[in-house]
Amino acid sequence: MDLPEFCLRGIRRQDWILPDEKVSAEAFEPDKNQPREDGLIEASINWEDDETVLYFCFDKCKDTFVYGAVRLAKNLMDHLIANNDVGRFSYERKEIKNNEHHGNLLFDSSTQQRSRRLLQGALALYSSRAIHDERIK
């Protein structure tokens, strides 16, 4: 799978941003209401194919990037995939209408929420501090 070095996760809620501008594990909560046929649940991301994607997200994905974004390195996700024993975790590119950058973080729906929270916490720890749209003052 040939994917860019980084992906972006939108920050939909202000209370996901911690005082030091890192995000909480809740920022990586998958949508448990729509499990897929393969037993996975998704948390949307956008692959940072080039330097325009961040502003594309701020401009076109406003319902997801309400309070900014965090950047997550693919090599750190690969490390987590290879070294975690609490539940299946992976990622994908899954283009949607009007968004060729879209993808998902994928979690096993059968993993207990407390265990899945460990994975989400690792993603939060590995992610950047919150990135805000500096065009908005």
Distance CA 37, CA 53 (A): 30
**Is the pLDDT at 1 greater than 70, yes or no?**
no
Closest to 87 in 3D by CA, of 56, 108, 113: 108
Number of independent structural domains in the chain: 1
Distance CA 102, CA 3 (A): 11
In a domain, residue 65? The reply is yes
Q: In what order do the strands lie in the sheet with 102-108?
A: 69-73, 6-10, 40-47, 102-108, 89-93
Q: Is 21 left (phi over 0), alpha (psi -120 to 50) or beta?
A: left
137 occurs within a structural domain: no
Average pLDDT, the chain: 94
pTM over 0.85: yes
Q: What is the pLDDT of residues 81-106, one digit of tens each?
A: 999 888 889 999 999 999 999 999 99
User: Would you say residue 91 lies in a domain?
Assistant: yes
Q: Which residue range(s) make up the domain with 29?
A: 6-126
Of the pLDDT bands very low, low, confident and very high (cuts 50, 70, 90), residue 80 is: very high
Terminal Cα-to-Cα distance of the chain (whole angstroms): 38
* Residue 10 Cα to chain centre, angstroms: 7
pLDDT tens column, 110-137 = 999 999 999 999 999 999 999 998 876 5
Give yes or no for residue 74 having a pLDDT over 70.
yes
Distance of CA 100 to the CA centre of its chain: 16
% residues pLDDT > 90 (the chain):
88
